[in-house]
């Protein structure tokens, strides 16, 4: 194991459309396009493989409000998929770091609010003991970490839909880099789960 990959890994997880978008052009908060695919076995198994070795969730404020507003309600929900309930329990119980310049106090348990540059926050986290640092679908956080060369593992779920516009995850100007495909799985409705590690 090289010095660069020793210790905690930063794992970035994002869902993308086939044309490379993570949100629709007219309403970035509307994630209905994801829903038919998010409930597939391949998508659920993909997420389970990411949170199991992670001990910290890193989120932007908007995603924190969305995730932490919804997922705790899944615990004990009648008919809930055990994988969904497992993720929900992990999210509630794990250490959460939320990047925000507007929140003063965290309304969620086991949550720290940090108002510092993203790359600096990750450097601080990597200097502590623990498992993976999982960035949960927070595009602004992932973009900043990709630009700073701070992502160790890139986990993508690609859904077979064109959004025809909207923000892209991979913008021009990212540092040139090579990645190694460590797992791939195709599932229902043409969903693809891909995991890449940064090549050192």
pLDDT reported for residue 6 = 58
Measured distance CA(125)–CA(127) in Å, rounded: 5
Please spell the DSSP secondary structure of 72-138, one letter per residue: GGGTT-TT--HHHHHHHHHHHHSEEEEE-SS-SS-SSTTEEEE-S-HHHHHHHHHTSS-SEEEEES-
Indicate the SS3 state at residue 4. Answer: coil
Q: What is the DSSP letter of 145?
A: H
Q: Which residue has the tokens 């923000």?
A: 167
> Is the sign of the CA dihedral 106, 111, 112, 115 positive or negative?
negative
Measured distance CA(187)–CA(43) in Å, rounded: 8
Domain extents in the chain: 10-198
Residues of the chain falling short of pLDDT 70: 1-6
Threshold 0.75, pTM exceeds: yes
Give the domain 10-198 fold.
Dihydrofolate Reductase, subunit A (3.40.430)
Q: Are strands 192-198 and 179-186 parallel, antiparallel or unpaired?
A: antiparallel
Question: Is the separation of the CB atoms in 33 and 189 below 8 Å?
Answer: no
Q: Report the residue count for the chain.
A: 200
pLDDT reported for residue 109 = 92
């Amino acid at each position: 194991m090289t010095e660069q990959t020793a210790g905690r890994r930063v794992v970035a997880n994002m869902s993308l459309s086939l044309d490379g978008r993570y949100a629709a052009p007219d309403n970035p908060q509307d994630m209905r396009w994801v829903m038919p695919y998010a409930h597939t076995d391949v998508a659920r198994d993909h997420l389970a493989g990411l949170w199991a070795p992670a001990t910290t969730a890193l989120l932007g404020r908007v995603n924190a409000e969305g995730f932490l507003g919804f997922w705790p309600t899944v615990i004990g929900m009648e008919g809930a998929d055990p994988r969904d309930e497992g993720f929900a329990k992990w999210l509630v119980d794990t250490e959460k770091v939320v990047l925000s310049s507007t929140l003063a106090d965290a309304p969620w348990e086991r949550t720290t609010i940090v108002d510092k540059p993203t790359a600096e926050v990750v450097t601080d986290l990597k200097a502590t003991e623990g498992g993976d640092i999982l960035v949960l679908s927070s595009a602004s956080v992932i973009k900043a970490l990709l630009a700073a060369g701070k992502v160790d593992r890139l986990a993508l779920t690609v859904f077979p839909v064109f959004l025809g516009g909207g923000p892209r995850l991979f913008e021009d100007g990212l540092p040139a880099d090579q990645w190694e495909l460590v797992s791939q799985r195709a599932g229902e409705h043409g969903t693809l789960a891909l995991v890449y590690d940064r090549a050192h």
